[in-house]
Structure 1
Amino acid sequence: MGAGIVGAAIARALAREGCAVTVVDRGPAAGGTSAGGEGNLLVSDKEPGAELRLAQRSLASWLRIEDELRDELPEGFPGLELERKGGLVVATTEAGAAALEGFADAQRAAGVRAEPVDDARVRELEPDLTPHRTAAVLYLEDMQVQPVIATEALLAAARRHGALVRPGVEVTGPVLGRGGLVGVDTTDGVLLADAVVLAAGPWSGAVAERLGVVLPVAPRRGTVLVTSRMPRRVGHKVYDADYVGAVGSGAADLQVSSVVESTAAGTVLIGSSRERRGFDERIEARVLAALAAKALLLFPFLADVQVMRAYGGFRPFVPDHLPVIGPDHRLPGLWHATGHEGAGIGLSLATAEILRDQVLHGEDPSAAEFRLDRPTLLPHLGRAA
């Protein structure tokens, strides 16, 4: 259930093992969160722990995926626009510098390639970056992919391995039997299955409710500005050190930090905002103004650049900031792969590997931190987020 990048990756992983896979989504493929993101594949924003380890595993898979898809897809299928651009995290205050350097030290101890860079090196990496900076760290492993193309490629590969993809089919309820879930009722009839995987991103909580269980996944709104095309480029993903705090914050009010990067098409993407306001789709001037103001602190030249458009989307927010991957202990037959918030693109491949192994081979001890019944999530399982 869900034809975004997480669902697509899982469909491909299971179909490659010979499973009969059907993907359903009430909308088009990659029509939800996957279409509203920047395509981040990051380790730079993750504290040492379970999510960072998942990101490191997933990045290794992203480095292999182009060669794998070249063998699985027909000749001429569009490339993923996978860029090994690296990330540059910049502090503009003394307090921010101390926090950034401490964070990078901890990440290096966890195996992340995080290199402090001096002013001369920063000017070489990003000539247009503000001179008013107090510290900078280069993350060589950060990458970017075009998320819609990547989702379509994974679904196309799943089809080549026999999967069926059925857009415009909405799940309406459970099919119960043998003490658990044996399928789902949909707007296009009943689908029976040995395993039902819920990968509906921020809509996972609502779909879970239709199946009779509470899943504390809620939407967290984000907005991105897109400039017109220009000859000047931002060579890396550049963001201010406040971004890590905004990612980890559970606050419902507006959180804005600066994330600036060029695309292959020559535009510049400007993020990042986070706000919990349900499924309110409005793009508001107050958010756009905050994004623009933050971006100018890093790249003053953007003051003279036209904004071409803005778009938004919803991230799947979980109260303890970890994705849910694995079986539902309350309803046998139901599996979850959701709650990645803004990291779903980057974490999708490793998520698919974990879920594949769990479905086919049983419990995976290395994935215990993502279980639905983990201690940090148990208090939320009796009520909606």
Structure 2
Amino acid sequence: MRQFPDIVVVGAGIVGAACAEALSAAGHVVDVLDRDAPAAGTTASGEGNVLVSDKPPGAELRLAQASRRRWPELLRSLREELGDIADFEWEPKGGVVAATTVDGAEALAAFAAEQREAGVDARVLPSGTVFELEPHLTRRTTLAVHYPEDAQVQPVLAASALLAAVRRRGGTLRSGTAATGVVRGRDGRVTGVRTGSSVLPCGAVVNACGPWSGELAGAAGAPIAVLPRRGMILVTAPVPPGTVRHKVYDADYVGAVESGDAELQTSTVVESTRAGTVLIGSSRERIGFDDTVRMHVLREIAGKAAALFPVLGRVPVMRAYGGFRPYTPDHMPVIGADPRVPGLWHATGHEGAGVGLAAATGQLLAELFDGRPPHVDPEPFRVDRPGLMAEVVA
């Protein structure tokens, strides 16, 4: 009889679900806890991006490339195991990045050249040919780069499929259960996770709480600098098929992603869904967990989108939604064991790239947990790296 899990993953978003799936696939009994419903937090407020186009050469890009390779493999294996429930709308539609100024074109061309050296398929399009890919893109476009590897999933469906596999393998999903800390034995090792007045015994805990990861880490006696960074997205009424064919964003987007500025930043991101609606982003601001809807943010997002795709200026917006993304000061995820608390692991800090990086993050965490050779170098994601710990000490 099963009495308690080997591992408890705290957080049922896309990253937590991917970690739980990879650990259960490796033979571990895994329970997943979440204070809310599965995928109801950051995952539900995202666009489902699986991108390599927005990352400069380095460790995060290598993780993104590994995850891009892993997602189709994961989809195939989950379909074999679960059937139709594993359909999470995988769309390898590709991406287009557009510059509308001379300076922007020069910067975009240089960025694409660096990415090609790192193995990214980044195709600078000859003048005018971008309109064959995106007929409604603004004619003010000065340069465009096509990224065939960019893809999209429906994030809530993806997380649900991963969690369904965990349950099928003997794990348990505990919704509406908040983890308030960990319990440690005499040797200092984790022996359970505290949930209010009760304790769930386990051999290890994975902190995959997204923007709330700092709270659990602090309660466990191992603080990490993970902060909420808010983003807003608009959803339009359905548009005719082919209005927006790829994931399209302006060349300012990469700078906004990499910036550490706490003030509001917006850049244009436009993509269609299978339902015919168009998702429009994006904004970034560090305002804690303040979820107030600010109309000036929505107007700025909408105005920039209409400048990039003039046709959208005539399309009504049906709704807007926002969410909090787990931000780290050095813009790198935290993946691996915490040396301060044996048995405590982290998988967080992906900010707005959690969906795209989840598949490789789960695989990497499971490899490290079992002592297997990791498929990507885990060193840049260590919890005790200077770029993260300096903020904790401060």
* TM-score interval (norm. to shorter): over 0.9
Map of 1:124-163 to 2, 5 A cutoff?
Answer: 124-163=132-171
Give 1:120 shift. 3.3
After TM superposition, give the deviation of residue 23 of structure 1 in Å. 0.5
Mapped pair 1:257 → 2:272: no
**1:182-221 counterparts in 2 under 5 A?**
182-187=191-196, 189-221=198-230
What is aligned with 1:298?
Answer: 308
Correspondence for 2:377: 366
The residue matched to 1:378 in structure 2 has which SS?
helix
Scaled by the length of structure 2, what TM-score is found?
0.95
Per the TM alignment, residue 78 of structure 1 is displaced from its structure 2 partner at its CA by 5.5
Deviating runs (4+, > 4 A) in structure 1? 362-365
1:136 is displaced (CA, Å) by 0.3
Correspondence for 1:25: 34
Aligned-partner Cα distance in 2 for 1:210–1:225: 35
Contact 2:222 2:338 (8 Å CA) reproduced: no
Task: Mark the runs of 5 or more structure 2 residues left unpaired by the alignment.
Answer: 1-9
Alignment match, 1:379: 390
Conservation of the 8 A alpha-carbon contact between 1:201 and 1:316: yes
Distance 1:272 1:25 in 2: 27
Paired with 2:248 and 2:304, the residues of 1 have a C-alpha distance of 12
Q: Tell me if structure 2 keeps the 8 A contact 1:169–1:188.
A: no
Q: Does 1:269 align with 2:279?
A: yes
Q: 1:381 Cα deviation (Å)?
A: 2.5
Normalised by the length of structure 1, the TM-score is: 0.97
SS at match of 1:151: helix
Whether 2:90 is the aligned partner of 1:82: answer yes
Partner of 1:333: 343
Q: Report % sequence identity.
A: 57
Match of 1:3 in 2: 12
Which residue number corresponds to residue 358 of structure 2? 348
What is the CA distance between 1:363 and its match in structure 2?
A: 7.9
Q: Is the 8 A contact 1:12 1:161 kept in 2?
A: no
C-alpha deviation, 1:119, in angstroms? 3.4
Note the C-alpha offset of 1:18. 1.5
CA-to-aligned-CA distance 1:63-92 (integer Å, 9 cap, x gap): 21221111111x332611111110100000
Distance in 1, Cα, partners of 2:373 & 2:37? 32
**Offset from partner CA, 1:306-325 (integer Å, 9 cap, x none):** 00000000110000000000
Residue 173 of structure 1, CA deviation: 2.3
What residue number does 1:288 align with? 298
Shift of 1:180: 2.4
Distance in 1, Cα, partners of 2:221 & 2:261: 28
Match of 2:333 among 308, 323, 335: 323
**1:62 matched to which residue of 2?**
71
Structure 2 SS opposite 1:214: coil
Tell me by how many angstroms 1:362 deviates.
6.4
Is 1:100 the counterpart of 2:111? The answer is no
Distance in 2 (alpha carbons) for counterparts of 1:128 and 1:78: 33
1:257-297 alpha-carbon deviations (Å, 9 max, x no partner): 00011111000010010000000111210100000111011
Quote the offset at 1:130 in angstroms: 0.4
Q: State the shift of 1:249 in Å.
A: 0.2
The superposition leaves residues 161-204 of structure 1 with CA deviations (integer Å, 9 ceiling, x where unpaired) of 11111011111222111222221110372112221100000000
User: Are 1:256 and 1:290, in contact at CA under 8 Å, matched by a contact in 2?
Assistant: yes
Residues 1:166 and 2:174 are matched in the alignment = yes
Q: Gaps (5+ residues) in structure 1? A: none
Q: C-alpha distance in 2, partners of 1:214/1:176?
A: 16
**Distance in structure 1 (CA, Å) of the matches to 2:372 and 2:192:** 20
Letter in 1 for 2:270: V
Q: Is the 8 A contact 1:214 1:382 kept in 2?
A: no
Q: Distance in 1 between matches of 2:117 and 2:181?
A: 47
Separation in structure 2 between the aligned mates of residue 321 and residue 173 of structure 1, nearest angstrom: 26
